[in-house]
Amino acid sequence: MSDRRVYLDHAATTPVLPAVIDVVAGTMATLGNPSSLHASGRSARKLVEEARESVAAGLGARPSEVVFTSGGTEADNLAVKGLYWARRAADPRRVRILASAVEHHAVLDSVDWLAAEQGAKVEWLPVDHRGRLDVEALRRVVRDDPESVALITVMWANNEVGTVQPIGEVVAAGHEFGIPVHSDAVQAVGALPVHFGDSGLDALTVSGHKVGAPVGVGALLLRREVDVVPVLHGGGQERDVRSGTLDAPGVAGLAEALRSTLADVPDRAAELATLRDRLVTGLRRVVPEAILNGDPANTLPGIAHFSFPGCEGDALLLLLDAASIDCSTGSACTAGVPEPSHVLLAMGAPHERARGSLRFSLGSTSTAGDVDALVAAIGPAVERALAAGIVNVSTGSTRGN
């Protein structure tokens, strides 16, 4: 086993940037509740508002449109539930939610909860074999009965296979009938140019730990004219949309992370795309039967998602883990039983292929050496996983348990 671990799971979380650590540590030494009126409180409030202005400038929003949250999951919940409740309260006919079938679970499960507990009628929008939204299907569904649609939610870029969605067309389809549109842009921010104002979106989700900030901070960009019902109630902070004492060190860290990450998005994207191409070429050379998933023409620069026929993704992950390589499967695990990726199933992949997949995601610390280490390890790992599968089948045991 190598002494040095190779980290190829940046889509799950990124290393906290050194400059962010300095900012957070320095801010943590500053006493004061940002909601307090005394000098210490005003000092903390100044840090928060400076961070808000910085985040807004980096993402093409107005400062008043930045609502700080505890992360992407809270921001998604606030957007989906808050928009649904507000729209339904204004017109009880508005009970339909239109969402892509490949959403992150923070959106997926929020929508499912609204359907189960709040009377929402959910329509999952189909994607093609590349994971790209069928925009014509969206238009047909909207035009069928626009007055009954509460909101549309479509992620900017998929967290598993990396496919980038046609957000401009989604916004146009919704706004033709005055329907608000939300997008989970957690994977897109820092990897692609993201400008909230130009996008036309009504709400956009950002997560700090995907751009070099600490876990536990994020933001919902929310247009001032858009009403949402709060999920949290309390002191009325953040436009009375998200109550709770503001995390001044966290939001300062988020602002610093975005300043650093957004400063050179095109150059970083080009570097990551080069590394990804090296990974794809090398892996296909040693495992020719591997299937590259996603849309090569419209994909995040740092994600390469493969299916390995005949292999269990969990088995491959553990074999690579033993070789000091970190990556992830796209499958979920419930009560110890692996489930196939809902993203690949929505793309039309059979269950076996959906369970036999791995995501390799690159980031700011990734190197050509990391890619080469994976290429050297993946062939033997696949051979061992295939052998294990043959043994399991011959003995009648269930693969993946």
Closest CA to 219 of 192, 193, 196: 196
Strand order in the sheet with 291-293: 291-293, 303-307, 357-361
89, 333, 368, 387: which is the annotated catalytic residue?
Answer: 333
Closest CA to 328 of 298, 355, 364, 358: 358
Separation in Å, CA 223 to CA 79, 153, 199, 264, 291: 11, 15, 12, 26, 41
Q: 349, exposed or middle or buried, with CB in 10 Å at 0-12, 13-18, 19+?
A: buried
Contact 106, 73 (CB under 8 A): yes
DSSP letter (8 states) at residue 16: P
How far apart CA 265 and CA 269 sit, in angstroms, is 6
Q: Tokens at residue 268, please?
A: 């970083």
How far apart CA 343 and CA 103 sit, in angstroms, is 8
Q: DSSP assignment of 309-341, as one string?
A: TT--HHHHHHHHHHTTEE-B-S-EEETTEEE--
Active site residue 327: no
Task: Report, as residue numbers or ranges, the catalytic residues.
Answer: 333
